[in-house]
Amino acid sequence: MISLRKLVTLNTTEDLVMAAATGVAVFVVLFFLRQFFVGRLRKWAEGSGSRFQIIAAEMVSSIRVMMLFAVGLVVTVNNLNLTPALEKATERLVVLIVLVQIGLSAHRGLRTWTRLRIAKQLEAQDGSSVLNLGVITFIALFVLWVTITLLVLENLGVNITALVASLGIGGVAVALAVQNILGDLFASVSIALDKPFVVGDFIIVDDMMGTVRHVGLKTTRIASLSGEELVFSNNDLLKSRIRNYKRMAERRQVFTFGVEYGTPVDKLERIPQIVRDIVQAQPQVRLDRAHFRSFGASSLDFEVVYFLTDPDFNLYMDTQQRINLTLIRELEQLGVRFALPTTRMHIASMAAPLSPAEEERNLPAPPGRMLS
């Protein structure tokens, strides 16, 4: 109150009115300039698609009214005679508003840049870059707002050195309390750097499988084949055994079949070559081997191994189906039958059968007749 009285005494009424009018005029001009530049930059961005112009438009549109007010206040104050206390308070207020506005503009620009980069990487199907951008953006925003907060506190007269030291001591207790959250956070950084999987990869974790849709700071979300969303803790996920099928360059397939016992040897010798011809006739297939493998319990077993140069699962199923159908036709023409699980029982008599004479001699004597 005393400072306000001194302000009136140090300045004439005309000075006060002129300073206030100048500050209001600057505020109004800056407000309309902001609207003009935002509209113009967005039109340029829509026309050229320039990433720089889009980011600039977003940063300009993030300028708050309080920032324009701060500029108007500075102009007003410069046209007045102020007491030291009021001048210092005004200076702190202006610096506080400017620091907050810098944080908001940088935040908006960084988020816009990240969004545009992620959209571009998704078009290029580069999941690893999307994951890296998410982690980098989080770290950059965290550092930005920690820096802004420290600068604001210093501007308000807080001893930053003592505060940082006390935060270091308290940080140990906080870290122990939230160690699970921090474990997931560091696990997300590990996923981003080591890249065991990226967005868009098809993975199997234990007995669950699906396509990676999002890797966050605490959890990873996977769209399962049946449609539901699977949510894994990042720390638990890295402790699991992960099978990444997106990294598969080739698909190795093994299949077996059996034919009946009693199949002639000359036909058994021809079967491996028939299978080789069938497999080699398939597109995008490299044959490894085809052999008469073993004597099964109820069949003569053959084993075939081949590689698909394209790991697509649907391609594998189509190829295996063609091989199976062609193999059935070829073995039918050869006169060879597939074996079915069967059990044969052989029963042998323990004693030789009696002749008619032996049977007659072994007949019992009629009643009342003596045998001599």
| Residue 285 reports pLDDT greater than 80 | yes
167-219 pLDDT, tens digit per residue, is 655 555 555 555 677 777 777 777 777 788 888 888 888 888 898 888 877 88
- Which residue did the predictor score with more confidence, 235 or 177? 235
pTM above 0.75, yes or no: no
Residues 6+ positions from 220 with CB-CB distance below 8 Å: 191, 212, 214, 231, 232, 234, 237
- To 10 degrees, the CA torsion angle through 104, 109, 111, 113? -170
Residue 102 sits at φ, ψ, to 5 deg, of -60, -45
Which pLDDT does position 48 carry in this prediction?
Answer: 62
Residues 6+ positions from 216 with CB-CB distance below 8 Å: 134, 188, 234
Which pLDDT does position 153 carry in this prediction?
Answer: 80
Contact yes or no for 212/200 (Cβ under 8 A): yes
Mean residue pLDDT of the chain comes to: 78
Least confident of 149-153, 167-171, 280-284: 167-171
| Residue 352 reports pLDDT greater than 60 | no
Report the percentage of the chain scoring pLDDT > 70.
Answer: 74
Residues 6+ positions from 334 with CB-CB distance below 8 Å: 267, 270, 271, 274
Which pLDDT does position 36 carry in this prediction?
Answer: 79
| Residue 165 reports pLDDT greater than 70 | no
Mean pLDDT of 249-266: 92
Is residue 104 very low, low, confident or very high in pLDDT (cuts 50, 70, 90)? confident
Which pLDDT does position 275 carry in this prediction?
Answer: 95
Residue 167 sits at φ, ψ, to 5 deg, of -65, -35
The angle subtended at Cα 125 by Cα 122 and Cα 129, nearest 5°, is 70
Which pLDDT does position 2 carry in this prediction?
Answer: 43
Which pLDDT does position 168 carry in this prediction?
Answer: 59
Mean pLDDT of 286-291: 94
Which pLDDT does position 371 carry in this prediction?
Answer: 44
Is residue 372 very low, low, confident or very high in pLDDT (cuts 50, 70, 90)? very low
Which pLDDT does position 1 carry in this prediction?
Answer: 45
In 168-249, DSSP assigns E strands to: 202-205, 208-215, 219-224, 229-233, 242-244
289-347 pLDDT, tens digit per residue, is 999 999 998 899 999 999 999 888 889 999 999 999 999 999 999 999 999 876 666 66
Which pLDDT does position 173 carry in this prediction?
Answer: 54
Residues 6+ positions from 18 with CB-CB distance below 8 Å: 79
Beta bridge mates, 251: 308
Q: Cα–Cα distance between 222 and 209 in angstroms, integer? A: 8
Q: Cα–Cα distance between 142 and 316 in angstroms, integer? A: 47
Contact yes or no for 261/299 (Cβ under 8 A): yes
- Which residue did the predictor score with more confidence, 231 or 22? 231
Q: How many helices (H) and strands (E) does the chain have?
A: 12, 8
Give the C-alpha distances (Å, rounded to integers) separating 32 from 26, 60, 147: 10, 12, 31
Helix (H) or strand (E) holding 259: strand 251-259
| Residue 45 reports pLDDT greater than 70 | no
Highest mean pLDDT, choosing among 28-42, 83-97, 274-288: 274-288
Which pLDDT does position 149 carry in this prediction?
Answer: 84
Mean pLDDT of 127-147: 73
Least confident of 260-269, 296-305, 344-353: 344-353
Which pLDDT does position 355 carry in this prediction?
Answer: 61
Q: Would you give the end-to-end CA distance of the chain in angstroms?
A: 157
Which pLDDT does position 34 carry in this prediction?
Answer: 78
